[in-house]
Structure 1
Amino acid sequence: MLLKIDLKNIMKKYAIIVAGGSGTRMGAPMPKQYLEIGGKPILMHTLSRFFEAEPKAELILVIPEKDFSLWKDLCVQYKFFIPHNLVSGGNSRFQSVRNGLNSITENEGLVAIHDGVRPFVNPEVIQESFEVAKEKGSAIAVVALKDSIRRLTDDGKSVYQERQYFRLVQTPQTFQIRKIKKAFDVTELHTFTDDATVYEHQGWQVSLIAGNLENIKITTPEDMAYAAYLFK
C-alpha cells in the first residue's frame, strides 16, 4: 500500500541563532557566546539543542564577521561538526536578524529566531514553537512571573500590578517565513525590543507558548555561575 504525502503540509524549517554581543557586562576577555561552560562554548550548546530538537532544520549562526575565524578555530578545537551556515551580523540585533532572514532564499516555511546565549532551551519548546507557528503564524516562548511586581510612575511613586497579567519573554520566537520577512522589511524603531514586537508592528497578534524557566540569557558573571550549576 502506497502512502500519499501531502507536500503542501511539509514546511522547511530554519533556526537563526543570533550572537552579536560584545560581552561588556561579562567583563571577560572574549564575547560571552564563546565562553566555555559544560566543556564547550555556550554557542555550541545552543546549536546542539536545536539540532537535537529538529535535526532536519537548517541552522544559521549570525555573529560579527570579525569573529568568523575565531569561531572556525573553536569548532576545530572542540571537534564541533553540527552543520550550520555563518552569516555576518549587523550593528543591532534587528539588523543581525534581518541579515539572517535575508540569507534564507525560501519564502515558504518556518523559522525560529533564538538568542545564542540561551543554551538551556528545552527541545520540546523548540518543537512546539514550530508546530504552533505553522498553525497560527507565530509562537513566542514566555514564562509566568513568580515575584510580585510594581510599576514606577513619572512622579517617582510605584503602583502594584497583578502579575498574572504579565509574562517574561524568552526565545525561541518562531514565525512563518513569509510573514516575518515582511515584518523586518521596515525601518528599525527603538520600540523593536525583540522579534515579536517587529511582527506586531504589522498589526498581527502574536501567539504565546510556555517556555522553560532555566532558559536564561547568559549576560553577567552571576549568570555564568548559575549556568555552571545547571550543567552539574
Structure 2
Amino acid sequence: MAQLPEYAIIVAGGSGSRMQQSLPKQFIEVAGKPILMHTIDKFYTYNPAIRLVVVLPESQLDTWRELCREHAFKVFHMVVAGGATRFGSVKNGLDVITGEALVAVHDGVRPFIETTIIKAAYEAAAKYGNGVVAVAPKDSIREVTEEGSMAVPRTKYKLVQTPQCFQAGILRNAYEQPEQDFFTDDASVVEALGEKIVLVEGSYRNIKITTPEDLILAEAFASQQV
C-alpha cells in the first residue's frame, strides 16, 4: 500500500501573558532563534517532504514573516490565520489539507520533540487511525472531591503531550462536531466520535514552554543538543 502523505499542523496561538512578556511565547528566542522555528525544524528533520501548516493569530502574521526574514528561515511552510480558540485554529489548519493523509497536530511551543517519537506517532496513526503522545506522571496525584481530596493510583494516569497524529478523514469528521468545553486537545475531539485513542510513549524533555521557569529548562536542553 502506498504511504500516505504526512502533514503537521503546528498550532501557535499563545500570547506572552503567563511568560510575563509582551512578545508572544512562540517568538521568544531560545539558543538564538524563535521557539517556533526550532519546532518547525524538528518536523522538517524527521521528514524533509512533510507538508507544514503553521497556524498563528492573524495579528501575528506580519511579525512572523519579519522574523523569518531576519533569521533567514528557509524551511517551507504554509501559514494560516487561527480561530478564536484552539479548536477553531486546528479546524482552519485542516481546511488547507486535501485528500487522504496522516496529520499530526503539535504545539508550536514544544520545540524538543524527538524525531523518533514523531515517527512512532505517525506509524501508530497509519496502523490504528491515531497515535497520541503521552508520558507517565512523576508526581503523586490527588483527586479533588466535595469532601476535600483523595489519593488516586498514579499508574492509572497519563499526561498527554503532542504531537497527536490521525488519519485525515477521522480528524476532519471529528472537527465537524460543535465545539465543547471538554475538548482540551485533539484526542478528546476524536474520542467524542467513538474512536479508541492509542497512546505513544513520549518524553519528559518534550516540554510545553509556557512560563519563565520553562525558558530556563529550554536553554539547558538546547545547549545539550548537537
Give how far 1:89 is off: 0.3
Q: Which runs of 5+ in 2 are unaligned?
A: none
Give how far 1:105 is off: 1.9
Give how far 1:152 is off: 1.1
TM-score, normalising length from structure 1? 0.94
Contact 1:50–1:123, Cα closer than 8 Å, also in 2: yes
Contact 1:54–1:127, Cα closer than 8 Å, also in 2: no
- What SS is found at the alignment partner of 2:143? strand
Answering whether residue 148 of structure 2 is matched by residue 151 of structure 1, we say no
- Give the count of matched residue pairs: 223
1:1-232 correspondence runs (5 A): 8-106=1-99, 108-155=100-147, 157-232=148-223
- Per-residue deviation, residues 43-63 of structure 1 (Å, max 9, x unmatched): 000000000012111000000
- Per-residue deviation, residues 114-173 of structure 1 (Å, max 9, x unmatched): 000000000101011111100000000000112111111112x21111101100000000
Question: Take 1:32 and 1:20, find their aligned partners in 2: how far apart are those partners?
Answer: 9
Contact 2:80–2:92, Cα closer than 8 Å, also in 1: yes
Contact 1:153–1:159, Cα closer than 8 Å, also in 2: yes
Give how far 1:9 is off: 2.5
Question: Take 2:52 and 2:146, find their aligned partners in 1: how far apart are those partners?
Answer: 44
Give how far 1:103 is off: 1.1
Q: Which runs of 5+ in 1 are unaligned?
A: 1-7
4+ long deviations beyond 4 Å? none
Give how far 1:22 is off: 1.5
Q: Identical aligned pairs, as a percentage?
A: 46
Give how far 1:226 is off: 1.2
- What SS is found at the alignment partner of 2:36? helix
- Per-residue deviation, residues 15-35 of structure 1 (Å, max 9, x unmatched): 000001122111112100000
What's the RMSD between the two structures over aligned residues?
Answer: 0.8
Read off the aligned partner of 1:209 and give its amino acid letter: V
Question: Take 1:201 and 1:54, find their aligned partners in 2: how far apart are those partners?
Answer: 30
Contact 2:15–2:22, Cα closer than 8 Å, also in 1: no
Contact 2:135–2:201, Cα closer than 8 Å, also in 1: yes
